[in-house]
Amino acid sequence: MPLADAATPDTAARPSSNWAGWGQWLALITMTLDHLARYAFPEAWGLGWIDSSLGRIAFPLFAGMVAWHGLFNTRDPLRYARRVLVIGLVAQLPYALMPRDIDGLILNICFTLSLGLIGGAWLLNLPPRLAKGLAAWRTAAESLAVLGVWALAGSVVEYGHLGLLLIPFYMLAMQRLHLSAGASAGWRTAALATLPLLLAAGLMNSSEMAKSVTVATCLTVLCLAAGAHRLPSKVPFAMPRRLWLAWYPAHFAAIALWLGLS
């Protein structure tokens, strides 16, 4: 997913994003291992364990990085969401060539992340708009529209309805945790704000192993928002931007070519 543009607020008020450099490498590696085990290698190879362990790190980590950049680092979350969507459009054809048990249209993870970021930006922007006098009828209309998009899109995007909720819940929790970091007050509200995210993460998978890894990944990202962002140093080998943007569609194309030749 593309990195966000620099934000306009004073950088002293924003948490460090050094951890995201490490997160990029971890997300791409675990995602690639998951897809290789799921699509490229037969069951006889005995690599199914990757899907319920290492493979469950990638999506909550991608969602956490998109939510982080959408909340702290970008001038325009909607523009950021459009850039993620472009990657999804490029990747959709090779993604559709992957063998799967479910018939029908399934849109790749970039659609989940892009729509989730749009929903998260709307959710966080709603209270200040209400404070400025947003009409009740318009609030109701927007809410119904958001719920309608969530209900319809959740049946066709990867990770479904719960996947679409991950970024809005991340952004809500991150905002509260960051505001309460280092303060004696506000921790109860911040802790309550994490519960929707952790509940959604726990419900996303079927096996206990997959649930545990997904929840643990979300908890790690939340700890970063709560103040642990100060601990990681910059990654010594930053991921090239072109590699970051191209890897998602390119690795699907490579797997599709491999499957076609074999």
Contact 5, 214 (CB under 8 A): no
Q: Tens digit of pLDDT for each residue in 62-95?
A: 999 999 999 999 989 999 999 999 999 999 999 9
Distance CA 196, CA 199 (A): 5
Which pLDDT value is given to residue 84?
97
Which pLDDT value is given to residue 4?
52
Would you kindly state where each structural domain of the chain is located, as residue ranges?
A: 16-261
Phi, psi of 222 (to 5 degrees): -65, -35
Concatenate the DSSP letters of all residues of the chain into one string. Answer: -PPPPPPSS-GGGS---HHHHHHHHHHHHHHHHHHIIIIIS-GGG--GGGTTTTHHHHHHHHHHHHHHIIIII-S-HHHHHHHHHHHHHHHHHHHHTS--S--S--B-HHHHHHHHHHHHHHHHHHHHHHHTT--HHHHHHHHHHHHHHHHHHTTTBTTHHHHHHHHHHHHHHHHHHHHHTT-SSSHHHHHHHHHHHHHHHHHS-SSHHHHHHHHHHHHHHHHHHTTGGGSPPPPSSPPPHHHHHHHHHHHHHHHHHHHHH-
The sign of the dihedral angle between the CA atoms of 39, 33, 68, 204 is: positive
Res. 126 pLDDT band, cuts 50 70 90: very high
Q: Tens digit of pLDDT for each residue in 197-231?
A: 999 999 998 889 999 999 999 999 999 999 999 99
Q: Does the reported pTM lie above 0.85? A: yes
End-to-end Cα spacing for the chain: 30
Contact 75, 6 (CB under 8 A): yes
Res. 12 pLDDT band, cuts 50 70 90: very low
Contact 166, 200 (CB under 8 A): yes
